[in-house]
Amino acid sequence: MQKYNSFAIPEIPFSKYDRFIVILNFKTTPMILLEHPSLKSFNTFGIEAESRYFTELTHENDLRELLQSGLLQQQPFFILGGGSNVIFSKNYPGIVVKVGLKSIEMVNEDTETILLKVAAGENWSNFVDYCVEKGWGGVENLTAIPGTVGASPVQNVGAYGTEAKDVIESVEAYEIVTGFKHTFTNVECKFDYRNSIFKQALKNQFVITSVTFRLQKTPHLQLGYGAVKSQLDKEGIVSPTLADVSRVIAQLREIKLPDPSKIGSAGSFFKNPVVSIAQYNTLKAQYPTLVAYPHHEGYKLAAGWLIEQCGWKGKQLGKVGVYPLQALVLYNLGGCTGAEVLALSKAIQQSVKEAFNVALEPEAIFV
C-alpha cells in the first residue's frame, strides 16, 4: 500500500490493477481516494467495472475541500448517488465521487405544511417511509423507488401520478468550477418529465448536497392511477391512509419490477415517449389498443407497451434480458457487461423506431 500526501495524483497506467490509497492532506480530515475499486456494489444493475479513483463524501466540508483542490478539473469525474440508473459501459478513466451526506432537518412549519431539508445521500425509499410514518403527505406515491434524495431533482423522479417537482421547494448545490454554494428554487430547476436543468444546461456543473421538500400536514392523496384504486377497492379500503397508499404502490412495484437486491436492473429503463396529438391519432387508428396518457405537449405513450408489441418481452441478448413481467425493464441474467446492456438498448430502440416511428430515450445513464 502506498500513501501520497499531496494534491498531485501520481500517473499510473489504468491497466495496473493493484490497488492503493491516495491520502490528500486537506485542512480538516484527510480524503481517501481508492484506486481501481470495483464499482459492482455501487450500481443496482450489478455490472462489474472499475474507476481509476473513487471517494465518498460524508461531510459537506469534504466536498468544499475537494472542489478547492482542483482535482475535478484535472481529470474526468462522475458524481454518483445510489447508482440505480447508472450503466457502467466500461472502466471509468477518472474519479467517481459518491455523495454520502446524511441528515433530515425540519426547517419550517406552519398550519398546513412542513419544510424538510434532506441531505443528498439519504436513501430515497427510507425518506418516503419516514414521511409516511410521520403522517406528512406528498411523496407516498414515490415509495420503493431505488436511489438517493440527491438524484430526485436531477431525474425529477415520478410514479403513479406524482413527480418530485410537486414537492420540491428548493435545491442546494455547489458549483464545481467556483466552489460556490447556490440555492435553486423549484422554478429555477426547470423541471420537466424525467428532466431538469441539472440534466440539461447545468449538466456536470453542480454537486447537489441537499433538497428541501414541502409536505402536507393534511395529505391530499393522488389515486388517479387505476391500479392503485383497484387494489384499494379489492382490499375494501374506502378511506385510505398514507400508509395504505404507500403499501399498495410498493406491492404493485414488487409485482412488476425485479428486486434490485436479488436481480440486477435499473428499474424502468426507457422514458415514456411524448408525441404530438396528430401522431397519436395516427398511431391510435393503426393500433386501437395503444396505451397512452394526455400530456401538455400531446400524448405520453407507454414505452413498455411499444417494446412488448415489438416482441422483446422475455427476450435476451447475451447475459442481459427484457424482464418477463415488465417490458420496460432490462435486467442482468448474471455477469452481464455494460456493453451488452447498451447493445440490447439500441436494438430495442431500433425496433420501436421502425415499427412506430417513435424514438425511445433511455432513462438510464450510460457512463
Contacts of 280 (CB under 8 A, 6+ apart): 290, 292, 298, 299, 301
Q: Do the Cβ atoms of 138 and 166 come closer than 8 Å?
A: yes
C-alpha cell at 288: 386501437
- CA-angle at 26, arms to 24 and 29, nearest 5°: 100
Q: Round to whole Å and give the CA distance between 260 and 43.
A: 10
Which one of 51, 65, 170, 194 is the catalytic residue? 194
How many CB atoms are located within 10 Å of the residue 186 CB? Answer: 18
Beta-bridge partners for 184: 171
Active site residue 122: no
Residue 178's alpha-carbon distances to 8, 27, 181, 359, in angstroms, are 20, 18, 9, 37
Coil/strand/helix, residue 115: strand
| 276 catalytically annotated | no
**Contact of 102 with 121, CB cutoff 8 Å:** yes
Task: Enter the C-alpha cell of residue 243.
Answer: 400508509
| Nearest C-alpha neighbor of 26 from the set 43, 46, 4 | 4
Give the active site residue among 65, 122, 163, 363.
363
Catalytic position from the list 210, 268, 340, 345: 268
Q: Cell 392523496 belongs to which residue?
A: 221
235 is catalytic: no
Q: Which helix (H) or strand (E) holds 338?
A: helix 338-356
CB 320 within 8 A of CB 339: no
Strand pairing report for 113-119 and 104-109? antiparallel
Q: Which of 99, 98, 363 is nearest to 211 (CA)?
A: 99
C-alpha torsion angle, residues 264, 267, 269, 275 (rounded to 10): 170
**H or E stretch covering 79:** strand 77-80
> Strand 51-57 relative to strand 92-99: parallel, antiparallel, unpaired?
parallel
Kindly state the cell numbers that stand for 203: 449538466
Q: Which residues are catalytic?
A: 194, 268, 363
